Structure 1
Amino acid sequence: MRYPLGFIGAGNMSGAIIKGLLNAGTAPGDLLICARTQATLDTYQALGCATTLDASEVMRTCDAVMLGVKPQMLKDVLQPLADEAQAHQPLLLSVVAAIPATSIERWLGGNLAIIRTMPNTPSLVKQGATGLYANERVTDAQKSLAETTFAGIGRYSWVDNEADLHAVTATAGSAPAYFFQFAESMQKTALELGLTDAQSRTLIGQTMLGAATMILETDTDIAQMRKNVCSPNGTTERAIQSFQTDDIDAVVRRAMLACLERSEELSSELGDA
């Protein structure tokens, strides 16, 4: 039996993708899930998915294979599957951070269609932002499959150069933590000002959600949105002036560049293994 899509690794991100596909109407029996433990597979069997403990079965029977194991484990997982990959030539979609497509291709024997992806943790609540890169062997039909897959967990954006995934990591992959850090700082002050934990959490979370929705659903420049909230000599303007005095642009830039630099380091360390 053949399956349209299989998964090698069934951690949190793979699980979010699987649930997104099922919610979008994919038949459970069209998915073959491979994990290291039967306990994990039992969860997907209960949903009607096909399951296996044998990664070679996924490579052998699936038109497309999602790679979702830990970066440090990927080489050891893939190298024994090289013969199956060469014989059956599935599309490979990787959600594994830092590992270049060239390394995946090398470990599996070369000449394979590979789409690398950089999703982020809001994918777990179907609000993810995913960067996608396809090597030269990927067809338009295969790109469409990737788009359908990642549309089920949020929004996606293609990059033409694989190196740009480092920028995606700095802009989206790691960015949920930036917003959590900002929300955490806001909540600390809100508590000092007398609001409760529940009140501050609701107000901060809803405000961030509303601002994000405005960014996505209007064409207004983001800087103009900020200006639109600031009345001359008003409360918001005073707060923004405080941020600018502390050079918030430089703070954010340093953090994003540090993230990008570490992403490049990890890619070199893990991809050259």
Structure 2
Amino acid sequence: MKKIAFIGAGNMNGAIISGLVNGGFNPENIMVSNPSPEKRLALQATHGIKQTPDNIEATTFADVIVLGVKPYLISDVCQHLSEHVDITGKCFISVAAGCTIKQIEQALNKPCTVIRTMPNTPSQLGFGVSGIYANDHANDEERAFTTSLMESVGIVKWLESEQQIDHIIAVSGSAPAYFFLFMEAMQKQAIAYGFSEQDSRDLVQQTALGAAKMVIENKLPISKLRENVTSKGGTTQAALSSLIEGGLDQLVSNAMNCAVDRAKAMAKNG
């Protein structure tokens, strides 16, 4: 069984560790490194994994290294690792936005497998979406392992080009916040109607959950599901007409394009 090092003890790395261990992966084959002790010690206590403050120790220990540090730190971290560890045959998996495979390859300065994956925050609950793209050094075993790794926190989609990572960010990476904003607006209006803050939240979150489950459990197009709950001349049609006339489609398109543009700018300036 491969050994895995997680560089960084943030929420995403913590979620993947949790998913792996809960799925039966041997915690003795997992090590997390983090400069401050609180998070890494908490992960050790919860999951029985190994921990260290030293990225060098973690990378030496592992076959697969998951880079879960802030994007602006990845190049420095990779360069430091390459200078102090023989990285031949090791596989590097990045879960950070805004840092390209080329940038990671340049920092490592040695031929090796580099895989970018873009998970989203629901991965912390096991309901994530991860887009994945690998460089030419990745073999079938490494691709399969990465698939298994990210399936521990949700579904995965292998991408045809690295450019699609930016599109995944817009479609699923940033997207939970779109739904949160819509739900927040609904909760505010429910409160304005006189519902309590908690009742408003209960109504909105259960409705959102139910709508998502209906999409998951049905093979019908989403547009058909919408039509099925929209009676001609009824309340739903009145509400939807207001959203459509207000330019909802264009607003959503603009927002997603802004996410793509920002992802490209982050990679360019990284």
TM-score, shorter chain, exceeding 0.5: yes
Percentage of matched positions with identical amino acids: 36
Q: Is structure 2 residue 32 aligned with structure 1 residue 33?
A: yes
Task: Please name the residue that 2:106 is paired with.
Answer: 106
> Which blocks of at least 5 consecutive residues in structure 1 are unaligned?
none
Distance 1:127 1:87 in 2: 32
Task: Please name the residue that 1:95 is paired with.
Answer: 95
Secondary structure at the counterpart of residue 253 of structure 2: helix
Task: Please name the residue that 2:200 is paired with.
Answer: 200
Per-residue CA distance 1:11-68 (angstroms, 9 max, x = gap): 1110111111111111111101111123333223323211122211222221111000
Instruction: List aligned pairs for 1:188-267, cutoff 5 A.
Output: 188-267=188-267
Instruction: List aligned pairs for 1:147-162, cutoff 5 A.
Output: 147-162=147-162
What code does the residue aligned with 1:178 have?
A: Y
- For the Cα contact (< 8 Å) 1:16–1:124, is it kept in 2? yes
Distance 1:114 1:252 in 2: 32
What code does the residue aligned with 1:10 have?
A: A
Distance 1:85 1:210 in 2: 50
Count of residues in Structure 1 that have an aligned counterpart in Structure 2: 269
Q: TM-score, normalised by structure 2?
A: 0.95
Distance 1:133 1:222 in 2: 28
What code does the residue aligned with 1:218 have?
A: N
In the TM superposition, residue 7 of structure 1 has moved relative to its aligned partner by 0.7
Secondary structure at the counterpart of residue 244 of structure 1: helix
Task: Please name the residue that 1:117 is paired with.
Answer: 117
> Which blocks of at least 5 consecutive residues in structure 2 are unaligned?
none
C-alpha RMSD over aligned residues = 1.5
Distance 2:6 2:116 in 1: 14
Aligned CA distance change for structure 1 residues 220 and 84 (closer, same or farther; 3 Å): farther
What code does the residue aligned with 2:31 have?
A: L
Secondary structure at the counterpart of residue 26 of structure 1: coil
Instruction: List aligned pairs for 1:7-86, cutoff 5 A.
Output: 7-46=6-45, 47-83=47-83, 86=86
Secondary structure at the counterpart of residue 224 of structure 1: helix
Per-residue CA distance 1:97-151 (angstroms, 9 max, x = gap): 1100111011001321111011111111211111111112111211121121111
Distance 2:39 2:185 in 1: 37
Distance 2:39 2:181 in 1: 32
- For the Cα contact (< 8 Å) 2:14–2:43, is it kept in 1? no
In the TM superposition, residue 10 of structure 1 has moved relative to its aligned partner by 1.0
Aligned CA distance change for structure 1 residues 137 and 191 (closer, same or farther; 3 Å): same
Secondary structure at the counterpart of residue 252 of structure 1: helix
Distance 1:174 1:134 in 2: 21
Secondary structure at the counterpart of residue 63 of structure 2: strand
What code does the residue aligned with 1:104 have?
A: I
Distance 2:148 2:122 in 1: 17
Distance 1:189 1:25 in 2: 45
Distance 1:28 1:131 in 2: 25
Task: Please name the residue that 1:136 is paired with.
Answer: 136
Distance 1:143 1:193 in 2: 52
Distance 2:87 2:128 in 1: 34
Q: TM-score, normalised by structure 1?
A: 0.94
Distance 2:214 2:29 in 1: 37
Secondary structure at the counterpart of residue 32 of structure 1: strand
Distance 1:40 1:200 in 2: 34
Distance 1:129 1:140 in 2: 21
Distance 1:39 1:225 in 2: 46
